[in-house]
Amino acid sequence: MRIDDAVVLDLHGVTDKTAFMNRCVRALPLPVWFGRNWDALADSLADMREPMAVVVTGWQAYAEASPQDWAIAQEVFSAAARASSKGLAVLLSLGHLEDPTAPPAQGSDDSPAPPAPPPVGQ
């Protein structure tokens, strides 16, 4: 597993479990039977056929808006990494790999971020 081959799970704009699961479906190579629930996510990640590194970006707003769900997501990532026979690493980005003001990716169910206010004094 190489970190430059990582899958990016971009959570910018995610504030609830439904949007979190939708992002997982789009970003991660999950099976067609994935049921968009915590147990299915844990099982799917643990059963990956190849080693995988997942870099989670933009997670801070989700953690603040839904702290209980974010705690569960962290537990799921941790349990899946421990259970993976092929190797799974989940890394939380503390910086910005993506522009949080950029419009959502095509097919996103999230609304675009509001425009930044003009600088003070202009």
- Which of 4-13, 14-23, 66-75, 90-99 bottoms out in mean pLDDT, i.e. has the lowest? 90-99
CA 59/CA 63 separation, integer angstroms = 6
CA 22/CA 26 separation, integer angstroms = 6
pLDDT, one tens digit per residue, over 15-65 is: 999 999 999 999 999 999 999 999 999 999 999 888 999 999 999 999 999
Q: Is 119 exposed, middle or buried (0-12, 13-18, 19+ CB in 10 A)?
A: exposed
Q: What is the DSSP string of 3-47?
A: GGGPEEEE-TT--SHHHHHHHHHHHS---TT--SSHHHHHHHHHT
pLDDT, one tens digit per residue, over 78-87 is: 999 999 988 9
Give the DSSP H/E element, type plus range, for residue 89.
strand 88-92
Q: Is 49 exposed, middle or buried (0-12, 13-18, 19+ CB in 10 A)?
A: exposed
Beta-carbon contacts of 12 under 8 Å, excluding residues fewer than 6 positions away, are 57, 58, 61, 98, 100, 113
